[in-house]
Structure 1
Amino acid sequence: MSIADCEQEEAGWGILEGLPGEPMMWVLVLSELVAFALFLGAFIVAHAVRPAVFASGQITLDASLAGYNTIVLVTSGWAAAKGAASAHAQESLHARLWLFLAMALGAAFVTIKLTEYAREIGSGAGLETSVFFTLYFLLTGFHLLHVCLGIIILAVVCRRADPIHVQTGTVFWHMVDLVWVVMFPIVYLVR
């Protein structure tokens, strides 16, 4: 590949160039946002078509646990942002501490979500119980998978705590936050 080819390839990132972190993370984040939008769209359409099924399913959910999880995940996003700011200021110890807090809060989210799943499954809910629970478990499970992946990404970028990698990791983590903030009211509160 010639220098001109490399310059032309780099110029193709134009729209992503001013964003923090690596451009490929933004490509991943945007594709994941599309996937979540499709899942949420299916949930909303199915809710409109089968409101009674969704109402009876939503009543069994523990909205308070999901509310705690919202606070935990948003606080985790704040800690990740503090970690990115510390990394940018070349304060790698502080960056690692903030990222560790973000990961610990992410682990708390996972624990709370698994507790919620255990309660729901214990009360007889499962993937085949109704269209509500099928979409609920698929949507929240897909998100939970992203939380776990986000914790791994934060752990990887935490090792060196250099600004570009920390920014890249926190971009993914903020996508996970954003998706949950949108999902929470749609899944748990809107009747």
Structure 2
Amino acid sequence: MASPVEEKRVPGDLAMWCFILAELAVFGVFFLAYGVARRQAPALFAAGQARLHLAPALFNTLLLIAGSATAAAAVRAFSANRQRAGRWLLAATLGSGCVFVVVKLGEFAERLKAGITLSTDTFWMFYLSLTFFHFLHVLLGMVILAAVWWMARDGRYRPGSLDGVETAAAYWHMVDLVWVVLFALVYVAR
């Protein structure tokens, strides 16, 4: 006997997917502009990159990847009606975001203390703009995760009723994806 055909659907809220696609387009334009500027001034960009610390950025990359893993695990937990595990996994995702924010704030403070601003040069303008724009997305992702965690306390997310948690996870995956590309372009690629 043939198995029933499973209905395919986009997980989460369609409006969030539209927002995610728009944000990816904005970051894509930003990355393209970064690449063009870097090609025009390779020595300037190499000098700026040499002043970046790879270890905190790598740590932040691993944090966001771990956060994406716990966000995906939270969706699976709620879909299996494991409420407590789902809430803990959302809290872990939120925790990864909190640590990311602390590390990034330290990095921003170090740059400001060194007198680096948007007007220092083209590299630092891109570095500060890209990383701060991403930082704002991390903060928004944390707000979304916190709201979903709060709503999960009353058992709102169950099999067949996962839109909120799927939406939060999708947004967090976008934040993670953008950081991985940003990390590769700004911190690693020479």
Report the TM-score when normalising by structure 2.
Answer: 0.89
Q: Give the AA of the match of 2:21.
A: L
Q: CA deviation at 1:88?
A: 1.2
1:62 aligned to which of 24, 39, 53: 53
Q: Name the residue aligned to 2:10.
A: 19
Alpha-carbon separation, structure 2, partners of 1:177 and 1:74: 6
Is 2:187 aligned against 1:188?
yes
Moved more, 121-130 or 29-38: 121-130
CA-to-partner distance for each residue in 1:118-166, whole Å, 9 max, x for gaps?
Answer: 1122222111100111111111100000000000001111123312210
Cα distance in 2 for partners of 1:63, 1:40 equals: 19
Q: Is 1:156 equivalent to 2:147 in the alignment? A: yes
Query: 2: CA distance between counterparts of 1:23 and 1:156?
Result: 18
Q: Where in structure 1 do 4 or more consecutive aligned residues deviate above 3 Å?
A: none
State the one-letter code of the partner of 1:182. V
Deviations 1:15-39 (A, max 9, x none): xx72111111100000000011011
Q: 1:22 and 1:121 mapped to 2: Cα distance?
A: 39
Letter in 2 for 1:146: H
Assess if the C-alpha contact under 8 Å between 1:150 and 1:172 holds in 2.
yes
Deviation at 1:59, TM superposition (A): 0.8
Calculate the TM-score normalised by the size of structure 1. Answer: 0.89
Q: Give the partner amino acid of 1:184.
A: F
- State the alpha-carbon separation in 2 of the partners of residues 154 and 92 from structure 1: 15
Contact 1:72-1:106 at 8 Å conserved across structures: yes
Tell whether 2:24 aligns with 1:33. yes
Deviation for aligned residue 1:176: 0.3
Aligned length, in residue pairs: 175
Q: In structure 2, list runs of 5 or more residues that go unmatched.
A: 1-7
Question: Could you say what secondary structure the match of 2:119 adopts?
Answer: coil
Partner in structure 2 of residue 132 of structure 1 = 123
Q: Hey, what does 2:34 align to over in structure 1?
A: 43
Counterpart in 1 of 2:5?
A: none
Name the counterpart of 2:134.
143
RMSD of the alignment, in Å?
1.0
Deviations 1:38-85 (A, max 9, x none): 111111110001111111111111111101100111111111111111
Residue 111 of structure 2 aligns to which amino acid in structure 1?
E
- Using the alignment, how far apart are the partners of 1:122 and 1:60 within structure 2? 14
Could you tell me which runs of 5 or more consecutive residues in structure 1 were left unpaired when the two chains were aligned.
1-16
Separation of aligned partners in 2, 1:38 and 1:159: 35
CA distance in structure 1 between the aligned counterparts of 2:186 and 2:71, rounded to whole angstroms: 25
Write the distance in 1 (CA, Å) between the matches of 2:142 and 2:102.
Answer: 13
